[in-house]
């Protein structure tokens, strides 16, 4: 049973990476993919002295400098940190909207995150978190990190001074089970976060009517956090059912209740995104409708005027694959259209 017993919380705490920030890929993975460096070289650093950087016992710039050569970085230290921090500058705008709505309801909202001091300053200044939150708690500033009891005790002392909130007046969302357990041990009402619609909105809706699921775009499902789709492998020429969403005007959206329709992958751009065009079985002839053969017993055409970048988290299931000749025909027609 909830500690609140139907009493509304006085404040809400969010984690940064994995909740407010959602890059879909850690910096080290991006670096390895981009520069072809052995991941073991990154593991050596991040599983070692980096832990001391998170509590302010070591300085990131001093500790990371010897590793830059191992990682084949040709630029300066500051350039590396800029690349790192910028590569993970990707907020989830739905969560940002929730934060602003909570503040409109006079709820104090805080960020509590394990960060070394330089990225901590980046979050506060460059990403605007100092202005967004009523308080930003950085482990390097506190001297302890989640899930340590001292970390939560220190932030609760500040929160109580700011808002008068006790542990039982606080909601906390984090994507780490151990951090959730650490928060619960000191009396905070803590929830694991993996999915915006399944893990965040239902909890908030218990206390505030304006967080009802139907009011937050029920059809725009949280595909981006689907663990299954993170593992999907796509190839050029693949045809997938895809949740395109409900679009505007003459844009092509899905026809089912989930706004899904088949798309063909024109070009794989990364491990996460690709260029695609929706397919149609309409018989209407048009220079922007290119034949791709039969699917499901019907002649299909690619609508190249609707080419777009799509994240693979929108994909549902693979239908098949078009012939290479058709794929080259689509690409040639797209070049001609441009």
For residues 70 and 101, state if they share a domain: no
Per-residue pLDDT reduced to its tens digit, 318-330: 888 888 889 999 9
Weakest-pLDDT range from 3-7, 176-180, 213-217 = 3-7
Show which of 71, 87, 103 is a domain's final residue: 87
Query: Which of the given ranges, 195-209, 232-246, 291-305, has the highest pLDDT on average?
Result: 195-209
**Is there a contact between 87 and 27 (Cβ–Cβ < 8 Å)?**
yes
**Is there a contact between 274 and 266 (Cβ–Cβ < 8 Å)?**
yes
Distances (CA, A) of 74 to 37, 214, 323: 13, 50, 42
Show which of 69, 87, 105 is a domain's final residue: 87
Structural tokens at position 70: 């191992």
CATH of the domain at 241: 2.30.30.110
CATH of the domain at 173: 3.40.50.1000
N-to-C CA span, the chain: 60
Is residue 240 situated within a structural domain? Answer: yes
Is the pLDDT reported for residue 226 higher than 70? Answer: no
For residues 18 and 156, state if they share a domain: yes
The rounded distance, in Å, linking the Cα atoms of 73 and 147 is: 33
For residues 211 and 258, state if they share a domain: no
Sequence-separated (6 or more) residues with CB below 8 Å from residue 303: 252, 277, 278, 279, 280, 288, 289
Is residue 6 situated within a structural domain? Answer: no
For residues 212 and 250, state if they share a domain: no
Is the pLDDT reported for residue 231 higher than 80? Answer: no
Residue whose entry in the numeric block shows the structure tokens 């959206």:
253
Per-residue pLDDT reduced to its tens digit, 275-317: 999 998 887 777 889 888 876 667 889 999 989 998 888 888 7
For residues 161 and 194, state if they share a domain: yes
* Residue among 19, 96, 250 nearest 278 (CA): 250
Structural tokens at position 111: 């960020």
CA dihedral 149, 151, 154, 157 (to 10 degrees): -70
Is the pLDDT reported for residue 34 higher than 90? Answer: no
Structural tokens at position 10: 């006085």
For residues 109 and 208, state if they share a domain: yes
For residues 17 and 143, state if they share a domain: yes
Average pLDDT over residues 6-16: 89
Is residue 18 situated within a structural domain? Answer: yes
For residues 264 and 290, state if they share a domain: yes
Per the structure, how many domains does the chain have?
3
For residues 240 and 331, state if they share a domain: yes
Q: Would you state the pLDDT for residue 151?
A: 98
CB neighbourhood size of 264 (10 A): 30
Per-residue pLDDT reduced to its tens digit, 78-130: 999 999 998 888 888 889 989 999 999 899 999 999 999 999 999 999 999 99
* Residue among 87, 152, 64 nearest 113 (CA): 152
Q: Which domain holds residue 48?
A: 27-87
The rounded distance, in Å, linking the Cα atoms of 187 and 135 is: 20
């Amino acid at each position: 049973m909830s500690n609140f017993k139907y009493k509304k919380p006085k404040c809400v705490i969010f984690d940064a990476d994995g909740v407010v920030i959602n890059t879909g890929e850690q910096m080290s993975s991006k670096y390895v993919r981009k520069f072809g460096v052995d991941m073991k070289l990154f593991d050596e650093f991040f599983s070692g002295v980096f832990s001391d950087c998170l509590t302010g016992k070591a300085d990131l710039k001093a500790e990371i400098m010897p590793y830059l050569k191992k990682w084949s970085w040709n630029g300066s230290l500051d350039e590396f940190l800029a690349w790192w921090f910028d590569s993970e500058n990707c907020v989830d705008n739905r969560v940002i909207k929730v934060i602003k709505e909570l503040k409109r309801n006079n709820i104090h909202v805080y960020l509590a995150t394990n960060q070394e001091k330089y990225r901590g300053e980046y979050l506060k200044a460059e990403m605007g978190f100092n202005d967004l939150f009523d308080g930003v708690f950085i482990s390097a500033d506190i001297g302890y990190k989640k899930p340590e009891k001292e970390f939560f005790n220190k932030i609760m002392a500040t929160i109580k001074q700011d808002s008068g909130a006790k542990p039982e007046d606080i909601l906390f969302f984090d994507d780490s089970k151990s951090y959730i357990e650490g928060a619960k041990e000191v009396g905070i009402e803590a929830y694991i976060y993996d999915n915006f619609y399944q893990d965040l909105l239902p909890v908030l809706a218990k206390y505030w009517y304006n967080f009802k699921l139907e009011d937050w775009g029920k059809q725009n499902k949280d595909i981006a956090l689907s663990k299954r789709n993170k593992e999907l492998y796509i190839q050029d020429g693949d045809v997938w059912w895809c949740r395109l969403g409900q679009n505007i005007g003459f844009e092509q959206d899905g026809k089912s209740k989930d706004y899904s329709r088949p798309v063909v992958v024109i070009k794989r751009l990364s491990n996460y995104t690709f260029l695609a065009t929706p397919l149609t079985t309409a018989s209407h002839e048009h220079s922007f409708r290119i034949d791709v053969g039969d699917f499901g017993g019907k002649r299909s055409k690619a609508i190249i005027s609707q080419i777009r970048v799509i994240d693979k988290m929108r994909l549902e299931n693979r239908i098949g694959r078009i012939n290479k000749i058709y794929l080259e025909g689509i690409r040639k027609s797209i070049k001609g259209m441009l």
